[in-house]
Amino acid sequence: MNEGTAYQEHKNRYKSDSGVLVQEFNSGNQFAFRFVFELYYRAAVLVAEGILAGNEAEAEDLVQDAFIKLWNHDEAFLEVSSLKSYVYTTVKNACVDKLRRSQVVRKYETHAVHHHQLAESDFTEPLITAETIRIINNAIEALPEQGRNVFKMSLAGLKNHEIAQQLSISVNTVKTHKQRALSNLRISLGDAMFILLLLHHNHLLK
């Protein structure tokens, strides 16, 4: 049996029984690691890209480092969600550390810490999540600059008066930029994707 066939057999077992996946991952099975890598790598890169403002090369480097740490992790994992959480948390922390080392303005660093919320709840669905993140991130980046800045800060959880203070504009101007951003996003994303965005960030309507 060649390696490709052997991996496919393991892969089928992992899909039908997550307990086998976790058990074999904990025992150092390379097929199990490969499966976990394929399951979460692309979505993790897109999450890192969102935090790092689209720097794909740095995102890939940080995610690869996260998987190396996962492979060398000493403690046993109890379930697949623990593997997912470890990768996700490691990537998020590495991105934030990268931004801090780069002395990024605090308001954008705050946004970066929270940006992952777009994908967190559906992270176990990597193919769907990756596509969702890509579409939403592209739509946000396509907004006019001032509106984009206001919207990102709102995504990070800042209140209207806090955004106004940091950008030296009025609260009414903040509200106007938010409403225009929401209108543009509804058009560019379509109703279904737009509703998904609001479900994750219902404070945007305030």
pLDDT surpassing 90 at residue 99: no
| pLDDT single digits (tens) 36-87 | 998 888 888 888 887 777 678 888 888 888 888 888 888 889 888 888 888 8
| pLDDT single digits (tens) 150-198 | 988 888 778 889 899 988 999 999 999 988 998 898 888 876 667 667 6
* Average pLDDT, integer, range 13-21: 91
Which value, in Å, is the radius of gyration of the alpha carbons in the chain? 19
| pLDDT single digits (tens) 109-134 | 455 455 544 444 444 444 335 666 77
pLDDT for res 12:
92
Predicted TM-score (pTM) of this structure? 0.52
pLDDT surpassing 80 at residue 200: no
Residue 104, SS3 per DSSP: coil
The string of DSSP letters for 12-79 reads: HHHHH-HHHHHHHHHTT-HHHHHHHHHHHHHHHHHHHHHHTTT-HHHHHHHHHHHHHHHHT--SPP-S
* Average pLDDT, integer, range 199-206: 55
pLDDT for res 195:
63
